[in-house]
């Protein structure tokens, strides 16, 4: 295929593309001519119908046509040109902040205009701000036709116009029509089973939808041609993660049999029995650890489902086999808590456990590092301080990462690399309390095996959740008083509009004074992110020991803190937090077996999203259901966290909309790997570019 070469030549072979334009295109990932075709429209504008002004509503993007009734210049804070246009069904105001005399003259009374823009509400009529417009003549039918097809709108970058992108897609499509090729990496028989069109047809359609295209389907992204491309894109992402997985899989890892006697001893010492779900997941982990290749397993479990114990089982398996284990947490507070929890469980078994917190004194740190390097320390707990350069393990067999969404893929792999001991790599266990809907997990975590702890320890009662306006604060304070008088403990969480940690801490400092005054019989204390590690720890320990009744806190307590006697949580300005964060916070109560409650206070008025979020929390305690709705409200990028979302920067697919495709993607990936292995690399390159190499692991 000599002609194929044309479309894989550099983009400068297209007419009008010089070095400057090429540099801009490069920013969009467009390097060769073919890339232009895979730079897909982000959306479409519908300029195919003329909308009567009387039928417009706010938010519409529409083409209208009417006669100028009046044009006037207003001198307010900034000069504004206003033009009233009517078409017999209604009138609308065109508003311009930038204009010149020529423009002003062109908008004379009686002129007929065709305009395109977004409809907004205005003081008197609806408005369009800086619409596109041009004069048309009332009688002439020719030359003034409205667009016949939907107008594609491309993602772009500074200094690159839509028209330029349209022109370039036009050129490449023309070559395609002349017989130049783009290779279809999806085998024909696969497309036939899925009833999806071939690649060239799909590309032509989405760049230049034909006149009779079903507009609504296309605007919604559900047209078969779009679905075909979305499918291919999801497949490419899936394959790239699988490739990453396969690369890790090729390495060797120590065979860890267990969990054996140590874990049996631990179980003996516990006042409770493992849940069925914990047992099952521990079994899945044990099976992985016995293989001579690195485990890569993600354990998802709702807050309070008992992930720590599952991690302890894996840690003990490593220790028993003579290896070290590292437990990594996303915050100092959580690392300290893990250190205590694991310490309480493991030290009595004779296991030597050490903390490598970020804020250790230099001498203590040097000593801790030496104990790790000599192998004296068997289990190390810490934050990302664990994978700094000067930290070395003697014989690292297992890495446990808690709350995975805070660490990116790269950090995860960096820690893993650390364990490389003459070609042997540690096993990895990743735990997250932010459950991710199955379909999303299949896309985002295709490089991991997934276990789910889908059962809470018995006796847990759902947290009763109420939503109250800030004006009822006094009642809430009374409620705290009653709960603590009954020997329970409570959290009061402060949030703030500003993202600033300083201000958030200040608000907590003010609140603690006010609450201590209002509740003189209670022991009230404060914990926030700017306190020293040792101070924080002292307060948390006192709270855990029951020496504090009411703990005022910033959102630092979000993850992991475990005080079973705390049965009431008040969250101020709850409307400002996301669903997942609220669910995590709420998970700090309801950990014992008494009835617990969470009071979500908000400042009216609530936005629609804010209302939806708070209602969701009131209605359900199920982390998976909450995650599903969070995905609906915020979309996958946000749900997965910023670091992780880089993996899911999709051009055309939409994980939510295209959910139904995802199981088919999985099957197609297997088929491609088996029957068409040579298609895999070019398919990934086409959609993800050269950037996605994840280091050489
Ligand atoms: P998370 O999954 O949120 O990390 P934790 O591991 O902190 O949950 O466990 C929450 C609480 O439940 C802890 O106090 C823990 O000791 C307790 N727990 C764990 N497993 C069980 C069980 N099988 N039965 C009763 N309590 C349990
Ligand atoms: Mg936890």
The three-state (H, E, C) secondary structure of 153-196, written as one string: ECCCCCCCCHHHHHHHHHHHHHHHHCCCCCCCCCCHHHHHHHCC
Q: Is the pLDDT of residue 641 over 90?
A: no
Q: Among 304, 402, 580, 592, which residue has the most ligand 1 atoms within 8 Å of its CB, making it the best to mutate?
A: 304
Q: What is the pTM of this model?
A: 0.72
How far is the centre of ligand 1, averaged over its atoms, from the C-alpha of 63 (Å)?
Answer: 60
With both helix axes pointing from N to C terminus, report the angle between 501-518 and 473-485 in degrees, rounded to the nearest 10: 70
Percent of the chain with pLDDT over 90: 48
Q: Under 8 Å CB-to-CB from 256, ≥6 apart: which residues? A: 289, 290, 317, 318, 320, 321, 323, 397, 398, 427
What pLDDT is stored for residue 408 in this prediction?
Answer: 62
Report how far Cα 180 is from the mean position of its chain's Cα atoms: 39
Q: Among 263, 305, 315, 457, which residue has the most ligand 1 atoms within 8 Å of its CB, making it the best to mutate?
A: 457
Q: Which helix (H) or strand (E) holds 397?
A: strand 396-402
Rounded mean pLDDT, 630-634: 74
Band of residue 2 on the pLDDT scale cut at 50, 70, 90: very low
What pLDDT is stored for residue 490 in this prediction?
Answer: 96
How far is the centre of ligand 2, averaged over its atoms, from the C-alpha of 434 (Å)?
Answer: 11
How far is the centre of ligand 2, averaged over its atoms, from the C-alpha of 303 (Å)?
Answer: 7
Locus of tokens 């899925």: 194
Rounded mean pLDDT, 270-298: 95
More confident of the two residues 622 and 677: 677
Sequence-distant contacts of 477-486: CB under 8 A, at least 24 apart: 477/515, 477/518, 477/519, 479/568, 479/570, 479/597, 479/599, 480/515, 480/519, 480/522, 480/550, 480/568, 480/570, 481/519, 481/521, 481/522, 483/567, 483/568, 483/597, 484/519, 484/522, 484/549, 484/550, 485/521
What pLDDT is stored for residue 693 in this prediction?
Answer: 45
What pLDDT is stored for residue 557 in this prediction?
Answer: 66
Band of residue 447 on the pLDDT scale cut at 50, 70, 90: confident
Which ligand 1 atom is at minimum distance from the Cα of 402?
A: 4
Q: Across the chain, what does the average pLDDT equal?
A: 86
For ligand 1, atom 4, the nearest C-alpha belongs to 307
* Pocket-forming residues, ligand 1, beta carbon under 6 Å: 272-275, 278, 301, 303-309, 433, 457, 562, 564, 591
pLDDT digits (tens, 9 = 90+) for 391-428: 889 999 999 998 765 566 666 677 777 777 777 889 99
Neighbours of 362 (CB within 10 A): 7
Rounded mean pLDDT, 522-541: 85
Which ligand places an atom closest to the C-alpha of 404? 2
Q: Under 8 Å CB-to-CB from 613, ≥6 apart: which residues? A: 575, 578, 579, 582, 633
Give me the residues paired with residue 65 across strands: 114
How far is the centre of ligand 2, averaged over its atoms, from the C-alpha of 311 (Å)?
Answer: 10
Q: Among residues 607, 570, 334, 335, which one has the least CA distance to residue 465?
A: 570
How far is the centre of ligand 1, averaged over its atoms, from the C-alpha of 338 (Å)?
Answer: 12
For ligand 1, atom 19, the nearest C-alpha belongs to 306
For ligand 1, atom 25, the nearest C-alpha belongs to 457
How far is the centre of ligand 1, averaged over its atoms, from the C-alpha of 272 (Å)?
Answer: 10
Most confident of 56-60, 474-478, 639-643: 474-478
Which ligand 1 atom is at minimum distance from the Cα of 564?
A: 14
Which ligand 1 atom is at minimum distance from the Cα of 341?
A: 16
Which ligand 1 atom is at minimum distance from the Cα of 303?
A: 3
Structure tokens at 109: 């009374």
Percent of the chain with pLDDT over 70: 90
Which ligand places an atom closest to the C-alpha of 590? 1
Band of residue 6 on the pLDDT scale cut at 50, 70, 90: low
Band of residue 386 on the pLDDT scale cut at 50, 70, 90: confident
Q: Among 269, 282, 299, 309, which residue has the most ligand 1 atoms within 8 Å of its CB, making it the best to mutate?
A: 309
Most confident of 113-127, 203-217, 274-288, 374-388: 274-288
For ligand 1, atom 17, the nearest C-alpha belongs to 306
Q: Under 8 Å CB-to-CB from 337, ≥6 apart: which residues? A: 329, 540, 560, 561, 562
Q: Among 282, 299, 302, 308, which residue has the most ligand 1 atoms within 8 Å of its CB, making it the best to mutate?
A: 308
pLDDT digits (tens, 9 = 90+) for 221-271: 999 999 999 999 999 988 988 888 888 888 999 999 877 899 999 999 999
How far is the centre of ligand 2, averaged over its atoms, from the C-alpha of 580 (Å)?
Answer: 15
Report how far Cα 452 is from the mean position of its chain's Cα atoms: 19
Q: Is the pLDDT of residue 640 over 60?
A: no
Residue 10 DSSP class = B
How far is the centre of ligand 1, averaged over its atoms, from the C-alpha of 305 (Å)?
Answer: 6
What pLDDT is stored for residue 100 in this prediction?
Answer: 87
Structure tokens at 206: 């989405």
pLDDT digits (tens, 9 = 90+) for 582-612: 888 898 898 877 889 999 999 888 888 888 8
Structure tokens at 603: 């400042």
CA 577 to each of CA 477, 516, 518, 602, 604: distance values in angstroms, whole numbers, following the listed order: 21, 25, 26, 11, 15
Residue 53 CA to residue 83 CA, distance in Å, equals 14
How far is the centre of ligand 1, averaged over its atoms, from the C-alpha of 395 (Å)?
Answer: 29
Q: Is the pLDDT of residue 388 over 90?
A: no
Band of residue 639 on the pLDDT scale cut at 50, 70, 90: low
Q: Is the pLDDT of residue 299 over 80?
A: yes
Rounded mean pLDDT, 91-105: 90
Residue 697 CA to residue 684 CA, distance in Å, equals 17
Which ligand places an atom closest to the C-alpha of 342? 1
Which ligand 1 atom is at minimum distance from the Cα of 278?
A: 23
Residue 279 DSSP class = H
What pLDDT is stored for residue 138 in this prediction?
Answer: 65
What pLDDT is stored for residue 330 in this prediction?
Answer: 80
What pLDDT is stored for residue 3 in this prediction?
Answer: 44
For ligand 1, atom 16, the nearest C-alpha belongs to 306
Q: What is the DSSP string of 425-442?
A: --EEEEEESS---HHHHH
How far is the centre of ligand 2, averaged over its atoms, from the C-alpha of 307 (Å)?
Answer: 6
Q: Angle CA(588)–CA(519)–CA(337) in degrees, nearest 5? A: 25
Provide the 3-class DSSP secondary structure of residue 450. strand
What pLDDT is stored for residue 501 in this prediction?
Answer: 66
Q: What is the DSSP string of 601-613?
A: EE-SSPPHHHHHH
Residue 386 CA to residue 559 CA, distance in Å, equals 19
More confident of the two residues 498 and 307: 307
How far is the centre of ligand 1, averaged over its atoms, from the C-alpha of 340 (Å)?
Answer: 14
Residue 393 CA to residue 400 CA, distance in Å, equals 14
Neighbours of 429 (CB within 10 A): 29
Residue 50 CA to residue 536 CA, distance in Å, equals 64
Which ligand 1 atom is at minimum distance from the Cα of 591?
A: 11
Q: Among 274, 306, 337, 621, which residue has the most ligand 1 atoms within 8 Å of its CB, making it the best to mutate?
A: 306
Q: Dihedral sign, CA of 544, 549, 555, 556?
A: negative
Q: Under 8 Å CB-to-CB from 117, ≥6 apart: which residues? A: 61, 62, 94, 128, 129, 130, 131, 132
Band of residue 636 on the pLDDT scale cut at 50, 70, 90: low
Which ligand places an atom closest to the C-alpha of 591? 1
Which ligand 1 atom is at minimum distance from the Cα of 273?
A: 23
Q: Is the pLDDT of residue 366 over 50?
A: yes
Rounded mean pLDDT, 48-58: 91
Residue 659 backbone dihedrals phi, psi, to 5 degrees: -50, -40
Q: Is the pLDDT of residue 1 over 50?
A: no
What pLDDT is stored for residue 576 in this prediction?
Answer: 83
Structure tokens at 353: 């456990």
How far is the centre of ligand 1, averaged over its atoms, from the C-alpha of 329 (Å)?
Answer: 17
Most confident of 24-33, 189-198, 274-283, 621-630: 274-283
What pLDDT is stored for residue 407 in this prediction?
Answer: 62
Which ligand 1 atom is at minimum distance from the Cα of 270?
A: 16
Which ligand places an atom closest to the C-alpha of 306? 1
What pLDDT is stored for residue 275 in this prediction?
Answer: 96
């Amino acid at each position: 295929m000599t002609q194929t070469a044309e479309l894989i030549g550099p983009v400068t072979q297209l007419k009008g593309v010089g070095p400057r334009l090429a540099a801009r295109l490069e920013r969009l990932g467009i390097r060769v001519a073919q890339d232009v075709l895979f730079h897909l429209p982000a959306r479409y504008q519908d300029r195919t119908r003329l909308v009567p002004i009387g039928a417009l509503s706010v938010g519409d993007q529409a083409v209208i046509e009417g006669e100028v009734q009046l044009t006037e210049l207003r001198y307010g804070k900034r000069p504004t040109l206003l033009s009233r246009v009517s078409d017999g069904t209604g009138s609308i105001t065109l508003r311009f902040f930038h204009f010149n005399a020529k423009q002003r003259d062109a908008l004379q009374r009686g002129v007929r205009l065709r305009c395109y823009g977004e409809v907004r509400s205005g003081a008197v009529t609806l408005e369009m701000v800086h619409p596109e417009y041009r004069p048309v003549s009332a009688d002439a039918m020719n030359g003034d036709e409205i667009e016949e097809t939907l107008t594609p709108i491309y993602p772009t970058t500074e200094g690159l116009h839509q028209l330029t992108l349209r022109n370039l897609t036009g050129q490449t499509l023309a070559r395609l029509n002349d017989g130049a090729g783009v290779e279809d990496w999806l085998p024909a028989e696969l497309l036939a089973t899925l009833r999806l069109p071939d690649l060239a047809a799909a590309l032509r359609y989405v760049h230049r939808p034909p006149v009779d295209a079903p507009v609504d389907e296309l605007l919604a992204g559900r047209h078969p041609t779009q679905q075909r491309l979305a499918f291919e894109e999801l497949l490419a992402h899936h394959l790239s993660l699988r490739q990453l997985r396969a690369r890790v899989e090729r390495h060797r890892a120590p065979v860890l049999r267990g969990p054996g006697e140590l874990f049996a001893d631990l179980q003996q010492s516990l006042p409770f029995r493992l849940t069925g779900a914990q047992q099952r997941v521990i079994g899945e982990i044990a099976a992985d650890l016995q293989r001579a290749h690195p485990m890569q397993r993600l354990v998802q479990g709702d807050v309070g489902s008992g992930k720590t114990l599952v991690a302890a089982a894996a840690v003990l398996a490593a220790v028993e086999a003579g290896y070290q284990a590292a437990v990594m947490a996303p915050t100092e507070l959580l690392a300290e808590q893990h250190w205590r929890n694991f310490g309480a469980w493991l030290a009595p078994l004779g296991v030597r456990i050490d903390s490598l917190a970020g804020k250790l004194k230099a001498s203590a740190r040097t000593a801790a590092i030496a104990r790790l390097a000599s192998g004296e320390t068997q289990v190390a707990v810490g934050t990302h301080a664990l994978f700094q350069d000067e930290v070395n393990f003697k014989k690292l067999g297992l890495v446990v990462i808690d709350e995975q969404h805070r660490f990116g893929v790269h950090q995860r792999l960096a820690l893993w690399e650390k364990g490389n001991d003459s070609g042997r790599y540690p096993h990895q266990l990743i735990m997250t309390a932010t459950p991710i809907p199955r379909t999303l997990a299949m896309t985002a975590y295709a490089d991991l095996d997934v276990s789910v702890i889908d059962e809470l320890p018995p006796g847990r009662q759902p947290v009763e959740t109420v939503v109250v306006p800030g004006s009822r604060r006094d009642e809430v304070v009374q409620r705290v008083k009653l709960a603590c008088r009954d020997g329970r403990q409570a959290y009061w969480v402060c949030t703030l509009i500003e993202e600033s940690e300083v201000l958030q801490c200040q608000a907590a400092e003010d609140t603690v004074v006010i609450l201590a005054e209002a509740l003189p019989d209670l022991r009230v204390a404060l914990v926030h992110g700017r306190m020293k590690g040792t101070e924080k720890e002292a307060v948390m320990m006192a709270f855990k020991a029951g020496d504090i009744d009411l703990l005022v806190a910033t959102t630092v307590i979000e993850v992991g803190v475990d005080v079973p006697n705390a049965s009431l949580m008040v969250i101020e300005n709850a409307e400002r937090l996301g669903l997942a964060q609220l669910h995590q916070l709420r998970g700090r109560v309801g950990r014992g077996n008494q009835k617990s409650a969470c009071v979500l206070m908000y400042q009216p008025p609530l936005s629609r999203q804010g209302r939806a979020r708070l209602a969701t929390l009131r209605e359900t305690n199920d982390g998976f259901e909450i995650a599903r709705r969070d995905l609906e409200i915020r979309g996958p990028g946000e749900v997965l966290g910023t670091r992780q979302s880089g993996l899911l920067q999709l051009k055309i697919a939409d994980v939510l909309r295209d959910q139904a495709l995802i199981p088919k993607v999985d099957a197609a990936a297997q088929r491609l790997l088996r029957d068409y292995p040579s298609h895999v690399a070019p398919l990934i390159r086409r959609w993800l570019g050269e950037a996605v190499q994840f280091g050489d692991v």
